Structure 1
Amino acid sequence: MNYLTVENVSRSFGEKYLFQNISLGINQGQKIGFVAKNGSGKTSLLHIITGKEQPDDGKVSYRNDLRMAYLSQEPDLGPELTVEQAILESDIPTLLLINEYEKAIKNPDDSEALQAALDKMDAANAWDFETKYKQILSKLRIDDLSVKIKKLSGGQKKRVAMAIALLSDPQLLIMDEPTNHLDLEMIEWLESYFKQEDYTILMVTHDRYFLDRVCNEIIELDNGNLYSYKGNYSYYVEKKEERLLLEQTTQEKAQQLYKKELSWMRRQPKARTTKSKSRIDDFYQIKEAAMNRRKDHKVELEINMERLGTKVVELHKISKSFGVKKLFENFSYNFLRGERVGIIGKNGTGKSTFLNLLTGNLPPDNGKVVVGETVSIGYYTQQGIDIQPGQKVIDVIKASGEYIPLNKGKIISASQLLERFLFDNKKKHDYVEKLSGGERKRLYLCTILIQNPNFLILDEPTNDLDIPTLNVLENFLMDFPGCIIVVSHDRYFMDKIVDHLFIFNTSGTITDFPGNYSDFRAYVGSTDISLEKDEKSIPAKKEFEPPKSISQKTATGPTRDQQKQLSRLENKMKKLEEEKDALQKSFLDPEISTQQMTENSVKLEKVKESLEEVEMEWLELSETIGV
C-alpha cells in the first residue's frame, strides 16, 4: 500500500540547487534510512514531505487519511505548557477515543453512544494504551509531568517530542536524528520497540548501528542524485562501494576516450558533415563524464607528534563526590602508550567529571592525577567552539595552529586539514556564524587536531556529525599514534576506535572491561549499561605492550616449519597480487561489458580482502621469528 509519492521535487537556495527532480515512494512496512552529507538537503526534503515547506518544483501526493507524525531536530512545543499538557493536547487519536469513552460512561442512558465508544476502543486496541503510555514515558525517563516545557533542556524536549510521536500511533513516522540526546539504553530500547511495532519509517540519522538494526532500505542523496538500496546499512555500505568502483572505472574509460576525442577535435575538422557534428556534440558529453570527479577526501596521515614517554597519565586513588552523590572512589589506573579507551555509563555516573579530572579542570576530592612531561592533551568538549562575530573559518583554525608536522619533514597546513574534513575553498573563507551546527562541530575538531596532541580526549565527538564526516574522523583516529579516550553513545564509532572500556557504574565503581562495546553487550546480555558483576568473572584485559625491539625478539632463529609457513604465505601473496593486477587491467579493456565490469569489481574487493589477511598473517609471523 502506497502512503505517499514524491514526484520530481526540486529545492534551491539562490542559484545553488540542493536537489533537482527527486522522486521516491514510501509504502507500508518500509523502514527507510536517509543518508547524505550535511548541507545536501536532507532536512529540506523531510520538510517538503511533511508539508512544512513547499518545493520549487514537483509535488508530494498522500494517501487519503494518512496518519503521519514528524519528529524534528528542534521540537516545537508550547513553552508555557507542562509536559502532561503537551502530551494531552497533541491530538493523539487514542486519547481522543478514551475521552469520548469516558464521556459515554458518564451518560449511561445513551446506550448507542456507549456501544459506539466501546466499538471504537476495541478497534483501536485502546485498552492497552495506559500500559503503553507508562512504558514509553518510563523508558524515555520522562518522570516529572508537571514541569513546564520552557524549563526543560534540549535533550528533554526531544524526548517529550519522541514520546508524543510514538503515542500518536502514526502509520508513517518521519524522524530527523531521533537518537540525538538519547543515551545508549534509550537507543537500544527504541531499536527493540521499532522491531515489535508495525511502523512505516523514514528517518535521517548518523547512528549506523540504529540504521543497521531498524531499516530495511537505505536511500542516499549524493551529488544531487538519489540512490536506493534494498537492505540495511551494512548492505548499503557494500553496494555503495561497488557503485563507486564502477563509477571510477567508467570515468577512467571516459578519460581515455576524452583524450582520443580531444586529439580529433584539435585537428579542427573542416568538413561539417552530419556525422562530424554529431561527434562534436558527443565530445562535450564525454568531457563532462571525464571531468566529473568525486570530491571525497581520505585522511591518511603519518603524524610526527611528540613521542610519549614511559609516564603518560597516572591516576592514584582518585575520588569525587557532589554532596551525598558518590561518583567514584579510590580509582587507580596507569595509561600506557597507544591505549584507546571508551567510557560508557548511565547519565550522572561521572563520565564528564572524570574527563575534567584528567585535564586538570577539576580537582579530585582525594588522590592525585600525574601527567607525564611529554603529554600534550587535546580535549574536545560537548560545549563546542566559542563563536566570535566576524571570524572566518580559516582564521579560527589558524589561531590554534598553522600546520601538523608529518613524517619525512612534510607538513599538512591548516587549510589542507580543513579540506580533509570536507571544507571546500568557499567554506574556508565563510564567516563562522554562517556554519550549520554540524559544520561548527567539524571546525572545532580541526582546532583540536591542528594542535598536534598526543593524548586525545573526545567527549561525544559524533553529535551533529554526518556519516561522511564520521568516516573521515574514524580514518584519522585509526591512524592516530597517541592515546585516545572517548565518551560516545555512537556504538559503531566506539567499536571501530577503542580497545577496552571503562564502565561507570551507579554504585560509584569503575570497571575496566577488555573489549569494545559489542563485546560488552554480548557479555552483559541486556540493555543495562552497568557492570556490577564479580570482578573475577570478567575476562582478563590484554596488557598493552610497546613493540619489541629487534634485540628483544627471539635470537634462536625460525624453525623449519616457520620457514615453510613464511614461504607459503609469500607465494600466496604473489599470486593474489597477480590476480589483483589482472582484474584492475581488465577495467581498461574498451570491450568489457557492464555486467563483466561489475563482476570483476566484486572479485577485486574479495581479492583485496584476502591479500590484506595474508599480509597481516605474514607480518605477525615475521615479528614472531624476528625476520
Structure 2
Amino acid sequence: MSILSTERLGHSYHDMWLFRNLHFGLQRGDRVALVGANGAGKSSLLRILAGALDPTEGTVVKEKGIRIGFLPQDPDLSVYASINDFIYSADNEQQRLIRRYEELVASPQADAHQLMVLSDQLSALNAWEYEHTIKSILSRLQITDFSREVAKLSGGQRKRLSLAKLLIDEPDVYILDEPTNHLDIETIEWLEKLLTTGQKTVLLVTHDRYFLDAVSIGIRELDHGKLTAYTGNYSYYLEKKAEQEEAAGVLLDRNRNLLRKELEWMRRQPQARGTKSKARIDAFHELEEKTKGQKQNDTVQLSVKISRQGNKILELESISKGYDEQTLISDFSYVFKKGDRVGLAGRNGTGKSTFLNLITGLEQPDSGTVTKGGTTVFGYYKQGGLVPSSETERVIDVVKNVAEYISMANGDTLSASQLLTQFLFPPEKQFNMVSKLSGGERKRLQLLRVLMQNPNFLILDEPANDLDIDTLNVLEEFLVNYPGVLLMVSHDRYLLDRLTDQLFIFEGNGTVTVYNGNYADYKSEQAILVQRAKTAVEQKAPPKTDKTPVKKKLSYTELKEYESLDSEIPLLEQRIAERTSALNETNDYTAIAEIASEIEQLNNDLDLKTARWLDLGEYI
C-alpha cells in the first residue's frame, strides 16, 4: 500500500504543461530514482510531493502522520539566524537539551552545576548516543561552527546544512533533489551507505550514476509528461530502456515506410472518386497520428574547433597558497604536457577550486610562478553556473555576445541560432529570458559559451552538477575524444574514472600528491593499504578468551576518541605512502636511513591507533 501517492496530478509552468493526469505511488521501503531530461519537471514533481509546491491540478495523498523530509536543489534558509537555530528543533526535547549543552561547553564562563544537571538530563533521555549521531553527521558534512550566521553561508554550505538537518531528523520519507551536489567523494560514499541501511523510503533525483545505481531499487522516468516505472537499479533501467528504444526505432522506421506508401496511394486517388476504401483511409489517418506521436530523442551535439597548441602549455613552479593561516597548496610544481587528462580529488575545502583560480590567473600564488604558454587558450567552466548580466538577457544574447558565427571541428560555420539548436535550445526557446531557464539548462548554456572560445586547455569545475544524464553522456563522449588538455574537479566518480588517467590528490595540509591512475585505481590501492594494516594488527593482537569481559556501551569520552581516530588513521596511511614514495626516489644513504626510520615509527603509530580503533569499533 502506498504511503505517498498522487491522483490525476498536473502542473504547468509559464503556460506550458510539464505533466498532466500523472499517477505516482511510493511504498514503505522503496528507494526510487526519478530520471528525465532537464526541464521535464523532475524538481517540480519532488516539490509537489514534499508539499513545498501546490500543483495546478490533482492531489497528493499521504498516509496519516507520515513525516516527509525534503532536500531542495537550492535550499532557502533565510528565516534562520544561525546554524544552531536551523539544526536544533525547539519541539524536540533531546535536540533542545543537546543544543543547550553544546552552548554551555563552548562558553568560557560555563556553569559547572548547570553542565552537570544537563548531563544528567541527557543521560535520563538516553540522548548521548543521539548527540554522537548528530555530531557525526555534522562533522561528515563539514559543519563545525554552529554559531555561524546562515546568511553568510555559500550555496554549497546551505545545501550540506539542509542535508544534515534532514538526516538528523530521520523522516519516514526522504525526498532528495541532487543530494550529491557540493559533497566530496568520501562523503557521497558515506551517504550511500546511510541511505541503504535499514528500510528507508527514498525518492531522489541525481545525475551521479554510481550513486544512482547503489541507492535505487526502482526507476521512474518522466518523459514528455508521462511517467514510466522500471523495477531494478539504474543499470537494469538502462538495459530495458535500450531494448525499448531499439524496438521503438524499428517500429518507427516501419511505420514511416508504410506511411510513405499509404501517402502515395492517397495522392493517386482522384478527389471526386468516392470508391476509396474507407477502412484504408481510416488506417492511413491512424498511422499518421501514430507516427507523429513517435519522436526520436533529441541529444546535444558537441563538435567545436580547438585552437592550435604549442609545446609550452602551462608550467607551475613551487606555487603556494593559503588563507587565514591555513595552507592549501605548498611548494607544488608540475609541467603540463599535451594530452594530459588530470582529475583533482580531495575533501571539500582542501584547495581544489583555489588551484583552478591560480592557474587561470584569477588569483595569484603567495609564492612560486605560474607560466602560461603563448598558444594556450583556457576554457573555464565554473561551478557557480551562468548568471545573466541582466533580468532581460535572452538565451541567444549569451551566444551572440561571444560571436555571431562559430567554427566547428568539421570546418562548418554555424550561426548563433544554429549552434543553440544543437544544444537543445530550439528557436522558440532562444528568445526566452535566461532567468527563466532551469538550473540544468543554465549549465548547458554555460558549457556552450565555454566551448565557443575554442579552448585547447579545458578546465571543468563540477561539470556534472544539475546536468541531466543524457547531456552528461554526450559531454563524456565529447571529452573522451577531446584532443586538448583536460583538467577536472568532480565528485562524480564515473566521470573521473572514464575521463582521467592522472590525479592531483589534495590532502588538506598543503600537500598535493600526483597519482598516476584514475580514481578507481586510487581507491583500490588505498583499500589494500588499509587491509594490510588491519591484518598486521590482528596478527599482533592477543587471542581472545571466553573470560574477556564484554563492554556493552562506550562512554562519551571513548566515543570522542573513536571519532578522532577515524580521521587520524587515513592521514597516517597517506603519510606512510608519501614517505615510501620519497624512499624510492632518493639514492642518498643518509636520507634513506632517516626516511626508513620515520616510516617504521609511522607504522608503529598506525598499528597502535588501528588496534584501538578496531577495539572501540566493536561497541559502536
- Shorter chain as denominator, the TM-score bin is 0.7 to 0.9
Cα deviation for residue 476 of structure 1 reads 2.2
Q: Where does 1:126-165 land on structure 2 (aligned, <5 Å)?
A: 128-165=129-166
SS in 2 for 1:33: strand
User: Structure 1: how far apart are the matches of 2:381 and 2:413?
Assistant: 23
Match of 1:27 in 2: 27
User: Structure 2: how far apart are the matches of 1:467 and 1:428?
Assistant: 22
Q: Does 1:200 align with 2:201?
A: yes
TM-score (structure 2 length as normaliser): 0.76
Amino acid aligned to 1:523: E
User: Structure 2: how far apart are the matches of 1:152 and 1:306?
Assistant: 39
SS in 1 for 2:196: helix
Q: Does 1:37 align with 2:80?
A: no
TM-score (structure 1 length as normaliser): 0.75
Cα deviation for residue 144 of structure 1 reads 2.1
Q: Does 1:411 align with 2:454?
A: no
SS in 1 for 2:322: strand
Deviates more, 1:374-383 or 1:126-135: 126-135
Cα deviation for residue 343 of structure 1 reads 0.7
8 Å contact kept, 2:80–2:86: no
Match of 2:543 in 1: none
Cα deviation for residue 231 of structure 1 reads 1.6
Cα deviation for residue 533 of structure 1 reads 4.3
SS in 2 for 1:333: strand
Match of 1:83 in 2: 83
User: Structure 1: how far apart are the matches of 2:88 and 2:348?
Assistant: 28
Match of 2:189 in 1: 188
* Cα 1:9/1:386, change in 2 over 3 Å: closer
8 Å contact kept, 1:252–1:290: no
8 Å contact kept, 2:358–2:364: yes
SS in 1 for 2:401: helix
User: Structure 2: how far apart are the matches of 1:138 and 1:276?
Assistant: 75
8 Å contact kept, 1:79–1:150: no
User: Structure 1: how far apart are the matches of 2:256 and 2:97?
Assistant: 65
User: Structure 1: how far apart are the matches of 2:144 and 2:253?
Assistant: 60
Cα deviation for residue 33 of structure 1 reads 0.7
Q: Where does 1:121-520 land on structure 2 (aligned, <5 Å)?
A: 128-268=129-269, 276-291=277-292, 292-299=294-301, 301=303, 303-389=304-390, 390-407=392-409, 409-520=411-522
In structure 2, the gaps of 5 or more residues are 100-120, 531-565, 583-620
Q: Where does 1:537-548 land on structure 2 (aligned, <5 Å)?
A: none
* Cα 1:313/1:463, change in 2 over 3 Å: same
Give per-residue Cα distances to partners, 1:441-500, cap 9 Å, x unaligned.
Answer: 221211110110111111222222222222232222222211110112222222222121
Query: How many percent identity over aligned positions?
Result: 47
Give per-residue Cα distances to partners, 1:556-606, cap 9 Å, x unaligned.
Answer: xxxxxxxxxxxxxxxxxxxxxxxxxxxxxxxxxxxxxxxxxxxxxxxxxxx
Q: Does 1:63 align with 2:106?
A: no
Q: Where does 1:560-599 land on structure 2 (aligned, <5 Å)?
A: none
Deviates more, 1:317-326 or 1:225-234: 317-326
Give per-residue Cα distances to partners, 1:27-57, cap 9 Å, x unaligned.
Answer: 1111001111222111221222223333334
User: Structure 1: how far apart are the matches of 2:456 and 2:338?
Assistant: 9
SS in 2 for 1:64: coil
* Cα 1:319/1:158, change in 2 over 3 Å: closer
* Cα 1:339/1:290, change in 2 over 3 Å: same
8 Å contact kept, 2:30–2:217: yes
SS in 1 for 2:23: strand
User: Structure 1: how far apart are the matches of 2:287 and 2:407?
Assistant: 41
Give per-residue Cα distances to partners, 1:366-391, cap 9 Å, x unaligned.
Answer: 33222222211112223433422233
Match of 2:107 in 1: none
Give per-residue Cα distances to partners, 1:511-552, cap 9 Å, x unaligned.
Answer: 11112222222222389897444247679xxxxxxxxxxxxx
Deviates more, 1:451-460 or 1:400-409: 400-409
Cα deviation for residue 412 of structure 1 reads 4.1
Cα deviation for residue 251 of structure 1 reads 0.6
Cα deviation for residue 286 of structure 1 reads 1.3
C-alpha RMSD of the superposition: 3.1
8 Å contact kept, 2:504–2:514: yes
Deviates more, 1:359-368 or 1:86-95: 86-95
Cα deviation for residue 407 of structure 1 reads 4.9
Cα deviation for residue 404 of structure 1 reads 4.1
SS in 2 for 1:400: coil
Amino acid aligned to 1:468: D
8 Å contact kept, 2:90–2:96: no
Cα deviation for residue 344 of structure 1 reads 1.4
Cα deviation for residue 233 of structure 1 reads 1.7
8 Å contact kept, 1:318–1:368: yes
Kindly tell me the number of residue pairs found equivalent between the two proteins.
516
8 Å contact kept, 1:505–1:532: no
* Cα 1:98/1:138, change in 2 over 3 Å: closer
Cα deviation for residue 95 of structure 1 reads 5.2
Match of 1:534 in 2: 577
Amino acid aligned to 1:254: N
User: Structure 2: how far apart are the matches of 1:357 and 1:155?
Assistant: 21
Match of 1:12 in 2: 12
8 Å contact kept, 1:377–1:455: yes
SS in 1 for 2:221: strand
User: Structure 1: how far apart are the matches of 2:71 and 2:458?
Assistant: 34
Cα deviation for residue 127 of structure 1 reads 7.3
8 Å contact kept, 1:12–1:56: yes
